[in-house]
């Protein structure tokens, strides 16, 4: 079976995670895909395939040659919940011509805006109808890993050490490593297969934190509100207005960090604003969090103590701090790309993966591409042939030359 065939099945599962849930996994529906993957792995001959109580799926392929490292391959099952993931109406555009592509919804995939599309000319492009995300982030990674597993199980001439497979829930809400069993996983190092265009290897990510602002106001009839009403939503807007307006995702790139408002709701009495805070530099990251808190302190001084509650919680740190000590793991992946005729590239990732926290938990774990593009949006897509290529890259990565 080719990777895209698996992928087309996986994307029909609703696996959106939910950061408002305190359970693990955050949504039980992720376990439905997990159970399906366990059965598929068993059918491939992966005897120890299993899902634990937290929704983590594990399995391994025994080594068939000695003196090789145990290598982990990891992908995540969940998708973001900010865009619908069902009903899924995906289609394959055969021999994509490299031009602007109109989706059923009327939205247009324009290669002048989405540069990666140009490299897909002549390939078979998987898209949705424009009303949902596709789920290539990261079901493409799952499909590629299990297609490799099928290949290794069927072709005993491919020599390899132990291959440890892990599929996690809740990566999109920053909790994918919360319950990951690093000792039980059994790998010496690993790779998340959770990136973008083919050829990417990521070992430098944001430092990340979440920020929640709760504004407590005073509600009173607007006809008699003078000098009495304290409008929580307006104070929340004031808070947001005090953050640097150019330091948001829409105006930053490369190593530039940001504050990003992800959700807001409120009325006169209570307003809640949720943020993510990002920066590659640990120093600037700490400065950003400190400034975020100072704005809250200023508003409390202005409107009264307790008006603004501010909670900041670290999510993950820049994996480069760890990976600089394990560059042989990075070089191994770069060589795998070259062995497939692909020149690897690395850029500072403006996001994170499970590998960020796993690296700090003792499992050095850079991130590899899947071929997917435009993740987290309705214009997400992936080329069939790019998924095939990534299976070949993974084979080169884990096998003995």
78 is catalytic: yes
Which residue is associated with the tokens 């305190």? 22
DSSP strand pairing (201-202 vs 367-368): antiparallel
110 is catalytic: no
pLDDT at 355: 93
Q: Which residues of 20-39 are buried (b: 16+ CB within 10 A; e: fewer)?
A: eeeeebbbebbbebbebbbe
- Residue tagged active-site, from 40, 137, 138, 171: 171
Integer Rg of the chain from CA: 23
Taken in order of first residue, the domains within the chain and their CATH numbers are 3-204+318-398 (3.40.630.10), 207-316 (3.30.70.360)
CB atoms within 10 A of CB 348: 16
Cα separation, 169 vs 176, in Å, equals: 6
- What is the tens place of the pLDDT at every residue in 257-311? 999 999 999 999 999 999 999 999 999 999 999 999 999 999 999 999 999 999 9
**Entry pTM:** 0.90
DSSP three-state, residue 70:
coil
Cα separation, 232 vs 220, in Å, equals: 12
- Residue tagged active-site, from 78, 150, 279, 392: 78
What order do you get walking across the sheet with 189-193 strand by strand? 50-51, 57-61, 163-168, 71-76, 189-193, 367-368, 201-202
Cα separation, 104 vs 186, in Å, equals: 45
| Each residue's pLDDT expressed in tens, for the chain with a length of 401 residues | 999 999 999 999 999 999 889 999 999 999 999 999 999 999 999 999 999 999 999 999 999 999 999 999 999 999 999 999 999 999 999 999 999 999 999 999 999 999 899 999 999 999 999 999 999 999 999 999 999 999 999 999 999 999 999 999 999 998 999 999 999 999 999 999 999 999 999 999 999 999 999 999 999 999 999 999 999 999 999 999 999 999 999 999 999 999 999 999 999 999 999 999 999 999 999 999 999 999 999 999 999 999 999 999 999 999 999 999 999 999 999 999 999 999 999 988 888 889 999 999 999 999 999 999 999 999 999 999 999 999 999 999 999 98
Give kind and range of the element (H or E) at residue 272: strand 270-279
222 dihedral zone (left: phi>0; alpha: psi -120 to 50; beta): alpha
């Amino acid at each position: 079976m080719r990777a895209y065939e698996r992928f087309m099945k996986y994307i029909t599962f609703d696996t959106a995670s939910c950061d408002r849930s305190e359970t693990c996994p955050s949504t039980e529906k992720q376990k439905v895909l997990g159970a399906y993957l366990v059965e598929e792995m068993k059918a491939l001959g992966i005897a120890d395939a299993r899902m634990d109580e937290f929704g983590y799926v594990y399995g391994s392929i025994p080594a068939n040659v000695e003196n090789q490292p145990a290598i982990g391959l990891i992908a995540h099952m969940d998708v973001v919940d900010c865009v619908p993931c069902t009903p899924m109406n995906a289609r394959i555009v055969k021999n994509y011509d490299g031009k602007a592509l109109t989706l059923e919804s009327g939205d247009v995939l324009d290669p002048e805006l989405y540069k990666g599309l140009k490299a897909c000319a002549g390939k078979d492009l998987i898209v949705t109808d424009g009303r949902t995300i596709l789920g290539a982030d990261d079901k493409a990674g799952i499909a590629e890993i299990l297609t490799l597993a099928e290949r290794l199980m069927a072709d005993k001439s491919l020599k390899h050490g132990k291959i440890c497979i892990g599929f996690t829930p809740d990566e999109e809400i920053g909790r994918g490593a919360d319950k990951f069993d690093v000792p039980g996983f059994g790998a010496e190092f690993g790779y998340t297969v959770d990136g973008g265009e083919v050829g990417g290897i990521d070992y430098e990510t944001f430092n990340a934190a979440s920020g929640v602002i709760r504004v407590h106001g005073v509600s009173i009839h607007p006809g008699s509100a003078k000098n009495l009403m304290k409008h929580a939503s307006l104070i929340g807007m004031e808070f947001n207005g005090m953050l640097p307006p150019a330091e948001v995702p829409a105006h930053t790139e490369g190593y530039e960090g940001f504050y990003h408002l992800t959700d807001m709701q409120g009325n006169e009495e209570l307003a809640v604003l949720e943020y993510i805070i990002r920066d590659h530099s640990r120093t600037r990251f700490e400065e950003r969090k400190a400034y975020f808190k100072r704005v809250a302190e200023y508003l409390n001084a202005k409107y009264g103590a307790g008006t603004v509650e501010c909670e900041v919680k670290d999510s993950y740190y820049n994996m480069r701090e760890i990976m600089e000590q394990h560059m042989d793991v990075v070089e191994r992946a770069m060589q795998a790309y070259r062995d497939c005729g692909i020149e690897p590239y690395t850029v500072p990732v403006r996001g994170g993966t499970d590998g960020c926290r796993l690296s700090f938990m003792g499992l050095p774990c850079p991130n590899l591409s899947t071929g997917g593009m435009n993740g987290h949006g309705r214009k997400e897509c992936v080329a069939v042939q790019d998924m095939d290529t990534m299976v070949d890259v993974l084979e080169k990565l884990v096998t003995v030359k």
